[in-house]
Amino acid sequence: MGMQGDFLQLLKEQGYTLSVPAAMGAGHALTNATTILAFKYRDGVLVAGDRRATAGNMVMYDRTDKVLEIDRHSVMAIAGVPATAYEMVRVLEHSFKYYRRTQLQELSFDGKLRAISKLLKDNVPAALAGTGAVVPVFAGYDLEQGSAKIYFYDILGAEFEGVEYAVSGSGSPTIRGILHYLNTWGDQPLNQLPEEQAMVQALRLLTSAAEFDSATGGVNREASLYPVIKLITGAGVQTVPDATLKPLYESQVVRYV
């Protein structure tokens, strides 16, 4: 019998395993590649991701949601194979809800981090077989400490705190350098940016990533296609609508590219 409130243990007792058969690895073009980022701004943390999903050199879909809300105060941005990542997010969503309903309290922020790490470790056989690697960025608001936090992971489940920012995906080397430059020598550190300026920076960063990484989708104004951007504060997760991003992009991004 597992520990009370442990949804993952409950799933295992029912025979559930998070894995992709290794035999699927050879000869199959799996959907992957992306650019996701998170950085702290004045009111909390911003998480953003492009929307392109590719399989090899083919663009499979241009409206993928790679920034997924797990609960009211946390999101997971996904880089890697969407099928595996979506399953992880569903398990985490139910796991956090299961703990809340059985223990009559929210799972701690550290508990959420351990749950993600455990899922990634369970996925190691599929990741090493090249069939189901996921390299996520987790961001949320720690209500106990009253602060926003960012963590990133490797495929084996090791977690690392992004003190100011974190990136992942095929386009991440480009924008990691830009984030370091902005945070070190910009007009002001990223964690002092007001909300609107933080959204402008996210649009510029993803536009830069798309310029140098073919697996990262850019903005398509004709199709009303913009990145997914979510803001996390003490009040919860807020999804920024396209109607807000469109004028910001047209006035403060497009004239510079």
Annotated catalytic residues are 34
Tokens standing for residue 11: 């799933």
* C-alpha span between 86 and 215 (Å, rounded): 19
Block residue for tokens 């998480």: 47
* CA-CA-CA-CA torsion sign (26, 32, 33, 39): negative
Q: What is the dihedral of CA 67, 189, 150, 235, to 10 degrees?
A: -70
Tokens standing for residue 237: 């997760």
Q: What is the dihedral of CA 7, 141, 80, 23, to 10 degrees?
A: -10
Please, which residues have CB within 8 angstroms of residue 27's CB and are 6 or more apart in sequence? none
SS3 243: helix
